[in-house]
Amino acid sequence: MNGWEIIRGLGVTLGHFFDTYLEDIRWKGKRYRTKEGIEGRRNASVRGAFTIQYPEEKLPVWEEFRYLPFLVYDISAEGEREIRCTACGICSKVCPPQCIWITRKKDPETGRPITKPEVFAIDVDICMNCGFCAEFCPFDAIKMDHEYEIASRSRDGNIYQLEKLLKSKDYYHSIRPNNSSREEKEKLEKEAEKLKKSESTV
Ligand code: SF4
Ligand code: SF4
pLDDT tens, position by position, 107-134? 999 999 999 999 999 999 999 999 999 9
Ligand 2 atom showing the smallest separation from residue 126 Cα:
3
Distance of CA 145 to the CA centre of its chain: 2
| Closest ligand 1 atom, residue 89 Cα | 5
Q: Which ligand is nearest to the CA of 131?
A: 2
Ligand 2 centroid to Cα of residue 69, in Å, is 7
pLDDT tens readout for residues 134-159 = 999 999 999 999 999 999 898 899 99
Q: How far is the CA of 83 from the centre of ligand 1 (A)?
A: 10
The structure's pTM equals 0.86
Please name each of the domains of the chain with its CATH number: 1-60 (no CATH), 69-201 (3.30.70.3270)
pLDDT band of residue 202 (cuts 50, 70, 90) is low
Whether the per-residue pLDDT at 43 is higher than 90: the answer is no
Amino acid at 168: S
Q: Are strands 113-123 and 159-160 parallel, antiparallel or unpaired?
A: antiparallel
Average pLDDT, the chain: 94
> Average pLDDT of 79-99?
97
pLDDT tier for residue 198 given thresholds of 50, 70 and 90: confident
Q: Which residues pair with 121 in a beta bridge?
A: 101
| Ligand 2 atom having least distance to the Cα of 66 | 1
Q: Which residues line ligand 1 (CB under 6 A)?
A: 85-91, 102, 137, 139, 141-142
Q: Does residue 95 have its Cβ closer than 6 Å to ligand 2?
A: yes
